[in-house]
Amino acid sequence: MKNFVVKTIANSAALAVAIWLLDKITLTGNSTPRKVLTLILVALVFGLVNWLVKPVVKVLTFPLFILTLGLITLVVNALMLLLTSWLADKLSLSFHVEGFWTAVLGGLIISIVSWAMNVVLPDDRD
């Protein structure tokens, strides 16, 4: 359970940094508490997408991982971010990613920040 909370906090922080750095990734809300709640819900959706869909996509694109020496990971991360944006729209969450290249850059930012947060934050292995 502790690991789930840590990963959600890391995803929330990573998404917040991407939203802050990129104008075409937006999160809107009437108030700060509403934005924080939306950010946490989007982080949960993002975590669920990465947990359910990403492994399937990785298996299906394994030859491309070898061929591109892992650079296809940027595209996979971008697709997961775009899927999260689409699901957020369906769930009436005010989170939107505009365009594929924004998603690529956002996915890169999210990967770096969530990695750093997972290094800093404690988890079940500590």
- Report yes or no on 125 lying in a domain: no
Is 94 contained in some domain?
Answer: yes
Structure tokens that stand for 58 in this block: 């990785």
Would residue 126 count as lying in a domain? no
Q: Is 31 exposed, middle or buried (0-12, 13-18, 19+ CB in 10 A)?
A: exposed
How does pLDDT run across 43-93, given as a tens digit for each residue?
A: 999 999 999 998 999 899 899 989 999 899 999 999 999 999 999 999 999
> What are the φ and ψ backbone dihedral angles of 96, each rounded to 5 degrees?
-145, 135
Tokens of 96: 């939107």
How many domains are contained in the chain?
A: 1
Residue 43 lies in a domain: yes
The range of the structural domain enclosing residue 55 comes to 2-120
Q: In the chain, what's the furthest Cα-to-Cα distance? A: 46
pLDDT in the model for residue 46: 94
| Cβ neighbours of residue 99 closer than 8 Å, sequence gap 6 or more | 24
